[in-house]
Amino acid sequence: MSTAVQDDVPGPVEASAGVGATYTTTTEPAHGPEEGGGLPQFEFQHWGGQIIYLLFLFALLYLLIAKVFAPRMRRVFDERSSTISGAIEAARQVQAEAAGQAEAAKAEVAEARSASRATAAAAKARVTDEANRRAAAEEAVVNARIAEAEAVIAKTRDAAMTNVSAIASDTAAAVVERLTGTRLTAAEAASVKGA
């Protein structure tokens, strides 16, 4: 059933589809009333073919995974595992070498410290011995000069002592002569010298 709507255009209007025409239709199902309107994959008559396709695709995917993808992944995982284990082993070796080098460096530092202490002790002993030797030499020189000076002093004292007695006798004779007006004889002067 169709109805034609006419625009304000003069002339005859046909019932065919055209510009400005509106149609009213009723929708009837494409299938007859005896057929169902659901999805065909859920209909029982199609299950056999779907199961065969499913088994075929499953077998194909299984073969692809088992023969192509899984060996490649296994090879990649094995390479990765061997690379990681090799890197860990290399890191352990480097760590062991570093620990050995650290111990060797500690030993070298300890040896250098002991050598520097020994060198310092030897230098101190050498300086002390040199200072003691110089002090002994200077002390010997000073002692020799003191001995020479004491000898000169003793000689001068002895000479002065001999002169003191002569001076004393002369002084005593001069004093007596001045006080008494008489001169002392040599015997009297010698008696004054003995006193």
Q: How far is CA 109 from CA 94, 106, 114, in A?
A: 22, 5, 9
Q: Which residue has the higher pLDDT, 10 or 1?
A: 10
Q: How far is CA 107 from CA 25, 91, 100, 104, 110, in A?
A: 105, 24, 10, 5, 5
Encode pLDDT of 78-88 as tens digits: 999 999 999 99
Encode pLDDT of 30-77 as tens digits: 544 455 567 777 888 888 888 999 999 999 999 999 999 999 999 999
Is residue 186 a contact partner of residue 166, using CB atoms and an 8 Å limit?
Answer: no
Tokens standing for residue 8: 């304000």
Q: pTM, whole model, 2 decimals?
A: 0.36
